[in-house]
Structures are given as structure tokens and as C-alpha cells.
Amino acid sequence: MKPFKTIILAAGEGSRMKSKKPKVLHKIFNEPMINYVIKAATECGSEKLCVVIGHKAEEVQQAIAQKDITFALQKQQLGTGHAVMQAMDFLEEDKNILILYGDTPLITVESLKELISFHEVENNDVSIVSAIVEDPTGYGHIIRDEQGNFLKNIEHKDASESEKTVQEINTGIYYFKGSALKEALVKLTNDNVQGEYYLPDTLSILLQSGYRVNALVTKDASAYFGVNTTVQLAQATAILQKRINQKHMENGVMILSPETTWIDPSVKIAADTIIYPNTIIEGNTSIGEDCTIGPNARLTHMMIGNDVHLQSSTAIHSSIGNHVTVGPFAYIRPDCHIADNVKIGDFVEVKNSTVGKGTKIPHLTYIGDTDAGEKINFGCGTITVNYDGSTKHRTVVEDNVFVGCNANLVAPVTIHKGSYIAAGSTITKDVPEDVLAVARARQQVINGWVKKH
Ligand code: UD1
Ligand code: CA
């Protein structure tokens, strides 16, 4: 494969989205669309990338995750051809140029490679990808001669009634010889219904000058899906969702309801894990084998070991070891480290805490800013009282402690090894090892009281 550079067009407003946000920043699985396009070009081996920005340029520039990108500014959006003209300094005569639109987030490395090899095998000067679609409204139509040779692209708005019915459309992906692109850009005009400089017009310009121009008809039109409206954004998300879920299922993950399971592209899941319906798994999450996740779970940036069973719960930015159960209705907030063989039951919230091996927090409990050791039993309704109104304090609970039901542990406080906390206690002072701490009013019995009243 010859070295090539990439230009990505992202200057347009995307008015059909009816949103104040620039189109290419609308997200699919928590990631702006433009970043998918950049990633595909980079993974395909593009030497350098230039993104053409214009509408809300700064905002777009800031949302781009990848470093070492060249930006070209298109002050006024006078068309896709005009956008490429703004990157003239980026072009090199003897390098190939891949051009992508920032609003086609489903593009794959395979589809880009297919175009590049088509270009090389056919010895073209410019190659594009076309697709046969059910409804070609709004796209550029590909017009061919009787022998099937490429003649031109005609935009829908400029097309005659018969051209409008042509179902072969321009997907908006181009591979040019740098010298040919430079030559064509100079000759581009805006003599059309929209008064814009159309990039696809470079194709007929080059053809007329004797260059080889060809369109590869793709078998996988979904890879080139362009997002112009919020409806199409949802459609693109659904296509990517299918792709991702399928990949996991092929790897041995059971997904019981792929339609209601949303897994970010970056998530890793090992074989023999079962995902129940209505589950969302986001960010840099990894899940080990033999787990059951869901129904109704939301995991964000979680590291989860093997044989973990988490249902109807939310867990964020934390780690969970092996053989752990969580939920139903638990909330694991950021910076928790849950060790092996822990049980976190219903209506339990854990935040910024470590929970040691074999510890049980079965029900209705808040563990915040706590270092909890191994084999602790937290009774129903335990509360670590971590906030005094201005500052957060830590609670330390050492190994083998038994906390009775409905106890308040008022931080900063340490419960040393092996001690018991009586039910209903409010503990405000450190508790030494192997004692019973009782911190509640004694029960009184008043004889004859009922009869008197
Ligand atoms: C374009 C193609 C059409 C193709 C379709 C595929 C042209 C003239 N038409 O139409 O043949 O079938 O894509 O999806 O190219 N942009 C700029 N500056 C501009 C105008 C656009 O950077 O001045 C960017 C936009 O931000 C967007 C991309 O170029 O990312 C495509 O622009 P858009 O207006 O969506 O083109 P379409 O009308 O979809
Ligand atoms: Ca478009």
C-alpha cells in the first residue's frame, strides 16, 4: 500500500440536525462521530490527518481526542470542494489522499482498505465508493454510460427527474492521487443549484482531462451511512450496536437481548459471561468470564473479575474482584475497590472505599470513605457517617468485625480487629480489638404504665 494522507471534512453546521451542537460532535456510544472517522483512517495506516473545521471550529477542535492532527479552517462553508481547497497546503503531489466526511462514523478499516486496493489494482487516478440504496433522496447519484463506465456524480438537488431515480449513490469517500486532486480543485466551479463547490465534481473534471476515474460499488452500504438528522443518528447508533454485540457473541459472550444491550466499542468481555436485558456497559470497562450482568445494569469504567453476578445496579469507575455478587439495587460510586468473595446486597451504596475479601454488606447500608478489611459483616442499615457538614472523614473497619444492625460509625473512627458493635449503636470513639461496643440508651421497663394510661 502506498503511503497516504487523509483529509476529513467537518466544517459544516449540520443544520438538518436542528441542534446548536456542530453535527460531527453528536455522539454515538459516548464518542463524537468525528473521532470514529479519525480512528478508522489512523488504523488503516494514514500517515497524517488534516481535519477541515469551520462552524464552531474551536469546539470541534477540542473534542477531537487524537493528537498530532493538522487543522485547516474553512471560514465560510461554500461546499465540500471548497472545504478541501482549504487544505491545499496539506496536499502533496506524489502522495495519495483519502477524503472522508466527518458525518460517516460507521466507516470501517476493512472498507477503507477495500477502496485503496481497488484504486491500486485498477490503477486509477481517483476512486470512490458508491452504494446501491433503496431511497437515494438527498445523495449524489452516480451516472454511468451504457458500458457501465463512470460518467459523473449529480447531486440530488441538481438532478433531472430520471437521474433522481438512480439508486447508485456517492457514499462520500474518495481516494485521489495528490497531483490529480490539486489539478481538479483549481478547475472547480460553483455553477449549480446550491451555488457550492462540490467535491464530487472533481471526478468529471478529471475524467474529461483523461484521468482514470472509477467507482467501487460496495456490498456493505452500512459502513458508509451518513448522518444528517437526529433520526439517522439513532439509526447509525443501532447499526454500530448490532456490530458490537455480534462481535461479543462471536467471542462466546451470551447476550440475551441484543436490542436492549448497549456496549461501548472499547468494552472487553470474556467468554461464558451472560448479559441480561436492558444493560448498558460504557467506557473502559472489562468483564471477566462466567459473570452474569443485568438485567437493568449500568456499568461505566469498571474492572470486573470472573464469576461476578451483578443485577439491577449501577457501578462507576471502580474495580470488583472474583466471585462477587452485587445488587439488586446497589450503587457503586467512583473509587471503590471490592475484593474477592464480597457480597453487596440490595439498597447498598458504596463510595470511595475498599472492601476486603469475604466481607458481606447484605442490605440497606451506606459505606463511604471507608477502608473495610476482610470477613466483616455489616448488619442491615449500617451507616458510615462520613460528612460533618464541611469535611469528609474516613472510617476504618478492621478484619473480622461484626457490625450489628442499624449502627452509625461516626468518622473519623477505627473499629479494631474482631470487635462486635451492638445493634443500634452510634459509635463516635475508636473501638479496641475483640470487644463488644454498645453505644445506645439502655432499655427501661415501666411496670403498670399501660393500665395507668
Ligand atoms: C455529500 C455529497 C453527496 C454524497 C453524500 C454522502 C457533496 C456535494 N455531496 O452530500 O454526493 O452522496 O455527501 O453522505 O459533496 N462540509 C464542510 N464544508 C462545507 C460543506 C460540507 O466541511 O462547506 C462537510 C460537512 O461538515 C460534512 C461533510 O462535509 O461532514 C458532508 O457535507 P454534507 O452537507 O452533509 O453533504 P451531503 O449533502 O450529505
Ligand atoms: Ca452528509
At 158 the pLDDT is: 98
User: Measured from the CB, is residue 6 less than 6 Å from ligand 1?
Assistant: no
Alpha-carbon distance of 254 to 251, in angstroms, equals: 9
CA distances from 429 to 11, 28, 395, 432, 438 (A): 63, 51, 11, 10, 11
Rounded distance from Cα 101 to ligand 1 centre (Å): 7
CA–centroid distance, 225 to ligand 2, in Å, is 9
Confidence at residue 1, expressed as pLDDT on a 0 to 100 scale: 81
pLDDT score of 368 more than 90 = yes
Q: What distance in Å separates the CA atoms of residue 173 and residue 15, rounded to the nearest whole number?
A: 21
Q: With bands split at pLDDT 50, 70 and 90, how would you rate the model's confidence at 417?
A: very high
pLDDT given for residue 278 in this prediction: 98
Distance CA 358, CA 399 (A): 10
Which one, of 157, 168, 170, lies nearest residue 203 by Cα? 170
Distances (CA, A) of 7 to 1, 44, 98, 115, 306: 18, 14, 6, 15, 43
| Rounded distance between C-alpha atoms, residue 323 and residue 354, angstroms | 16
The pLDDT value recorded for residue 7 is 98
- Distance in Å, CA 139 to ligand 2 centroid: 8
pLDDT tens readout for residues 292-323: 999 999 999 999 999 999 999 999 999 999 99
**Ligand 1 atom 36 nearest Cα:** 80
Q: What is the pLDDT of residue 174?
A: 98
Q: By percentage, how much of the chain surpasses pLDDT 70? A: 100
| Dihedral sign for Cα atoms in the order 61, 90, 103, 114 | negative
Which residue, by CA, sits nearest to atom 37 of ligand 1?
Answer: 139
Residue 310: per-residue pLDDT: 98
231-290 pLDDT, tens digit each: 999 999 999 999 999 999 999 999 999 999 999 999 999 999 999 999 999 999 999 999
Q: What is the pLDDT of residue 148?
A: 95
Say which DSSP state 431 is in: B
Ligand nearest to the CA of 101: 1
Residues with catalytic annotation?
363
Per-residue pLDDT averaged across 61-87, rounded? 96
pLDDT computed for residue 414 by the predictor: 98
CA nearest ligand 1 atom 1, residue: 172
- Rounded-to-integer distance, Cα 175 and Cα 1, Å: 13
Average pLDDT, stretch 2-20?
A: 95
Is omega for the bond preceding 334 within 30 degrees of 0, making it cis? no
Cell numbers linked to 26: 453528536
Mean pLDDT score of the chain, rounded to an integer?
Answer: 97
- The three cell numbers of residue 339 are 475484593
pLDDT at 375: 98
CA-based radius of gyration for the chain: 31
| pLDDT for residue 391 | 97
Q: What is the pLDDT of residues 157-214, one digit of tens each?
A: 999 999 999 999 999 999 999 999 999 999 999 999 999 999 999 999 999 999 999 9
Which residues, including other chains, have CB under 8 Å from residue 230's CB and lie 6 or more apart? 17, 18, 19, 26
C-beta 9 within 6 A of ligand 1 = yes
Dist. CA 224 → ligand 2 center (Å) = 10
What local confidence, expressed as pLDDT, does residue 65 receive? 87
Closest ligand 1 atom, residue 169 Cα: 12
Give yes or no for residue 52 CB within 6 A of ligand 1: yes
Using DSSP's 3-state secondary structure scheme, residue 347 falls into: strand
Q: Which residues surround ligand 2, an ion (CB under 5 A)?
A: 103, 226, 228
Question: Above 90 in pLDDT, residue 395?
Answer: yes
Q: How far is the CA of 11 from the centre of ligand 2 (A)?
A: 12
Ligand number, closest to the Cα atom of 103: 1
Q: Does ligand 1 lie within 6 Å of residue 201's CB atom?
A: no
pLDDT of 131 > 90? The answer is yes
- Arithmetic mean of pLDDT, 128-135: 95
Grid coordinates belonging to 130 = 458508491
What pLDDT score was predicted for residue 408?
98
Q: Which residues contact 360 (CB under 8 A, 6 or more apart)?
A: 342, 343, 345, 376, 377, 378
Average pLDDT over residues 386-415: 98
Task: Please state, in angstroms and rounded to a whole number, the distance separating the CA atoms of residues 126 and 213.
Answer: 5
Whether pLDDT at 2 is above 90:
no
Q: Of 267, 231, 298, 253, nearest to 31 (Cα)?
A: 267
- Going from the Cα of 69 to the center of ligand 2, the distance in angstroms, rounded, reads 22
C-alpha grid cell, residue 257 = 437481548
Q: What pLDDT is recorded for position 321?
A: 98
Whether 320 contacts 326, CB under 8 Å: yes
pTM, two decimal places: 0.92
Q: Is 172 in the pocket of ligand 1 (CB under 6 A)?
A: yes
Q: Which of 36, 80, 150 to mutate to test the pocket of ligand 1 (most atoms within 8 A of CB)?
A: 80
Q: Is the pLDDT at 450 greater than 90, yes or no?
A: yes
pLDDT tens, 218-247?
A: 998 899 999 999 999 999 999 999 999 999
Question: Does residue 425 surpass a pLDDT of 90?
Answer: yes
Q: Is the CB of 74 under 6 A from ligand 1?
A: yes
Q: At what angle do helices 178-187 and 201-208 cross, to 10 degrees?
A: 100
364 lines ligand 1 (CB under 6 A): no
Spatial contact of 72 and 15, defined as CB atoms under 8 Å apart = no
Task: Tell me if 197 CB under 6 Å of ligand 1.
Answer: no
Which residue type, as a one-letter code, is found at position 192?
N
Q: Which residues fall within 8 angstroms of residue 388, CB to CB, at 6 or more apart?
A: none
